[in-house]
Amino acid sequence: MIRPDISVALPVFNEVENLDELNERLQRVLNAASRTWEIVYVDDGSSDASFEKMAAFARQDPRVRALRFSRNFGHQMALTAGVDAARGRIVAVMDADLQDPPELLSEMLKKVDEGYEVVYAQRSKREGESAFKLWTAHVFYRLLKRWTNVDIPVDVGDFRLMGPRAVAAFRRLRERHRFIRGMTAWVGFRQVGVEYVRPARARGETKYPLRKMLRFALDGLTSFSHVPLQLATWLGFAVSFFAFLYILVVLALWILKINVPGWTTLMVFVLLLGGVQLTVIGVLGEYLGRIYDEVKGRPLYLVAEEVGGITAPSPDVDVTLE
């Protein structure tokens, strides 16, 4: 088996109108870098002709491979499958909608040559995103930074290059709720960012509706922080403290024999405490559900078909693959 210098792994979900330009620009960049390469497309259960298109690329050029999932497993799983299947010494991961410009790869490759194990692309500016997305992303990344021990860089997506040691380490992380930008920070080694202006998606619509984005943000928070769980403790302390003060007030009123009706106060406390308790139970539920998912130990994804690869489809690409 020939091992290319670099593999580029791309998750694809209904991106048929972007694939021609993507494939062309990628190959141009990789050829110019004068290294041996392979491109691994992972079709995440597209309903358009994405897989047919990438399979056609793969049949034309042995350096291109196309994997198809048995259904939609999500962006983070498709990315994982791409890294698992990659045979290159260095592995790059990037989106297929041209928001991660292939041209940046040459600059990122230089950093790997300098000895960095993880080179991530850091967006200095984002074009064509709604003010809402920009603001929520801004707040989220800063919150995450404060609440975690892992040094997750801010304003960084999944566009990155990993050297051999980072790739080997990443493949050993088999958790189910994956926040890949955090996981690649967790592996450590020498890491560096390269700044770029993130262009708008070339064609088509975002495949990340608000619902998926919220889930993803929660996965990030819960996989790298226990702060939400500990919040219950702090809330408990705070509420107990005020309750204690109020008990003194109530006792004083009782001693002074001032008879207050007190219905309003009672309602306020009952509602407040009910709200706090339900919120805390909800937080517990978020963690519990994730524990349940992990305990089931299902494979992360299923590959239905592979074109241009070596072997027949395997249920979960061998993770011991060097």
Which residue, 116 or 159, has its beta carbon nearer to ligand UDP? 159
Which residue, 127 or 293, has its beta carbon nearer to Mg ion? 127
The 3-state secondary structure of 187-212, one letter per residue: CCCCEEEEEEEECCCCCCCCCCCHHH
Q: What does DSSP assign to residue 5?
A: S
Which residue, 65 or 201, has its beta carbon nearer to ligand UDP? 201
Take residue 143 and report the two structure tokens written for it: 């919150």
Q: How far is the CB of 157 from Mg ion (least distance, A)?
A: 8
- List the interface residues with ligand UDP, window 56-75 (CB under 6 A): 72, 74-75
CA distance 18 to 98: 7
- List the interface residues with ligand UDP, window 179-208 (CB under 6 A): 201, 206-208
Q: Where does residue 237 fall: left (phi above 0), alpha (psi -120 to 50 degrees), or beta otherwise?
A: alpha
CB-neighbour burial class of residue 178 (10 A; exposed 0-12, middle 13-18, buried 19+): buried
Task: From the list ligand UDP, Mg ion, none, pick the one residue 314 interacts with, judged by a Cβ distance below 5 to 8 Å according to partner type.
Answer: none
123 three-state secondary structure: strand
> From residue 127 to residue 156, what is the string marking binding to ligand UDP with x (rule CB under 6 A)?
------------------------------
Q: Contact 80/315 with Cβ under 8 angstroms?
A: no
Which residue, 38 or 97, has its beta carbon nearer to ligand UDP? 97
* Residues lying near Mg ion in the complex (CB under 5 A): 97, 99, 201
Q: Which residues contact ligand UDP (rule: CB under 6 A)?
A: 11-13, 15, 44, 72, 74-75, 78, 95-97, 99, 201, 206-208
